[in-house]
Amino acid sequence: MRMDIAMNVHVTDKRPLALRMENITKRFRGVVALDQVSFDLQAGEVVALVGENGAGKSTLMKILSGAYQCDGGKIELFGKMLARANPQQILDLGVAVIYQELLLANDLTVAENIYLGRLPKTRSGLIDWNAVHAGARRAIARLGFDIASDAKVGDLSVAHRQIVEIAKAMSRDARIVVLDEPSAVLGDSELQSLFGIIAKLAEEGVSFIYISHRLEEIFAISHRTVVLRDGRCVAIAKTGDLTKDKLVKMMVGREMSSVYPDRQPRIGPPALSVQNLTNPWLKDTSLTVRQGEILGVCGLAGSGRTELLRALCGVDGAKSKSFTCGDLNSMPTSPKQALAHGIGLLPEDRRHQGLFIEQDLAFNIAIAGLGAIRRRGFLSRRAETRMAKAYIDQLRVKTPGPRETIGNLSGGNQQKCVLAKLLNAGCKVLLIDEPTRGVDIGARREIYQLLVDLADRQGLAIIIVSSELPEVIGLCDRTLVMRAGRITGELMRGEMSEERIMHAATD
């Protein structure tokens, strides 16, 4: 329900400037990544930075953080022109960048992380632990949270780790905070508290640059929006003057009538059916998904939605009263067995669970179904290349070729390759956890289209777990809502609305 989170922060036009970036240009080996980008940021203002992957958002932020030096342009920070500066100096000047993959030391405590690299010392030169913990508690309390300062960061939830990152930035007196896709790892209630913190700190005069692919959030939190496309700044506007359609059009440079493709569902017999699925995270969960059906599963983070998919494909152990999927009549006990019977998982965390990052596309696509490229007992490189090329064409993967290292691809194209891996493995039931996480809006549409084609034309059964309700409503024939490991609601196409889903997920 991201739309409901409206912030009532009023920014007068007379605030001092915190940052001005002017005509920033950056080239990589002759390729222009940023072309004379200018924008400014007032004290206490929240500016959203949007654009497709590759539009130049992260390059711009890396220049701000000192990780890259720009080839042209000027940066004015708190009224002072910035000459060449390294990341440490920028940090000292009060700019903190909080990356999507949080840079915390998981084995250290909250307090140690907050004071990492600048632990206060007593007069004798030893660490002043009292000051460390007191300071850490203060920094977290300021954000309105209660996290033990001696807790190990690795034991915290992702949301709390993010709070620690922000507390760390604040305790360094950061006056500009860059948040790079903070919502990717947060559930809805956690996101609300993050927005609360942003609003609170903005009122105290801290400026934010908020990067996100989720447009609802931008409308909820930002005062102004800066749109980048192909390394140029195509618009800077008051967020209140924009609409979602306008924003999408500016980001992709073309009209996008609807992000969600039309469905022509032809729903067949049951493809997978399970009764009374139980394990430590799931309680008597039953469901059936049919051939050609796209079934959504919604719920807050921790509701058991991811665990449901993991149980169905044999990653986590689980018991059930009955299980049927094709000729398989008992719960799969390993991903290997699940795949052998056509059940494949597209995991939530692509980098850590889906990709073989050093390997090429063909390797990544072939690995779960090597039988497809076996010729006379041995794997054929030629057959592999041909197979990979076919998927590259079918799924419209943008790449120089099947031998490109997969790490060089954008998130959307990587996602397509993981999907191709499951298709090559012969999957008939796709379990998809967050299909468009970290995928830009242009590629999102393509992935939606692919999923719809797989269901409507090829009769695959697809279960989608997503925290983005519009995605579920736009794609699915039916939606199950989960809460605390149980299914608490079932909505058919036409009955689905964000309100009804949230109602079933939270009551």
Partner 1 sequence: MAMQFQDHDGAKTFGTSQGILQFLMRRAAISGLLMALIVLVVISALISDAFLSPYNLINVLRQVALYGIVSIGLTFVILTAGIDLSVGSIVAVVSVSTAMLLNIGVPVPVVILAGLAAGTAFGLINGLGITLLQIPPFIMTLGAMVMLRGFALTLADGRPIDVTSTANNFSWIGGANMAGMPVAVWIFLAVAALSFLVLHYTDFGRHIYAVGSNAEAARLSGINVPGTKLGVYTISGLLAGLTALIFVSRLTVGEPTAGTGLELEAIAIVVIGGASLFGGVGGVVGTTIGACILAVLANMMNLVGISPFTQQIVKGAIIIVAVSLEVLRRRR
Site of interaction with partner 1 (CB under 8 A)? 313, 315, 334-336, 338-340, 345, 347, 352-359, 363, 366-368, 370, 374, 378-382, 400-401, 403, 421, 425
Cα gap 428→423, rounded to integer Å: 8
Cβ nearer to partner 1, comparing 363 with 448:
363
Strand residues in 57-213 grouped as ranges (E): 72-77, 80-81, 95-98, 176-180, 207-211
DSSP letter for each residue of 28-58? ETTEEEEEEEEEEEETT-EEEEE--TTSSHH
Cβ nearer to partner 1, comparing 335 with 470:
335
- Least Å distance, CB 372 to partner 1, is 12
If we measure between CA atoms, which residue out of 456, 463, 452, 446 comes closest to residue 410?
A: 446
- Least Å distance, CB 336 to partner 1, is 4
62 Cβ neighbours under 8 A, 6+ residues apart: 68
Q: 309-343: b or e for each residue (b if 16 or more CB lie within 10 Å)? A: bbbbbbbbebebeebebeebeebbeebeebbebbb
Cβ nearer to partner 1, comparing 125 with 378:
378
Cβ nearer to partner 1, comparing 288 with 405:
405
Cβ nearer to partner 1, comparing 395 with 504:
395
- Least Å distance, CB 382 to partner 1, is 7
- Least Å distance, CB 149 to partner 1, is 31
Q: Are 277 and 284 in contact (CB under 8 A)?
A: yes
Record the tokens describing residue 182, joined without a space.
């903070």
- Least Å distance, CB 414 to partner 1, is 12
Cα gap 29→27, rounded to integer Å: 6
Record the tokens describing residue 57, joined without a space.
């958002």
- Least Å distance, CB 277 to partner 1, is 19
Cβ nearer to partner 1, comparing 80 with 382:
382
Record the tokens describing residue 456, joined without a space.
């409507």
Q: Where are the alpha helices (DSSP H) in 263-410?
A: 305-312, 335-340, 361-366, 381-394
Cβ nearer to partner 1, comparing 42 with 385:
385
- Least Å distance, CB 72 to partner 1, is 23
C-alpha torsion sign, points 349, 211, 303, 492: negative
For residue 490, what are the β-bridge partners? 480
Q: How many helices and strands (H and E) does the chain possess?
A: 16, 21
- Least Å distance, CB 428 to partner 1, is 15
Cβ nearer to partner 1, comparing 25 with 405:
405
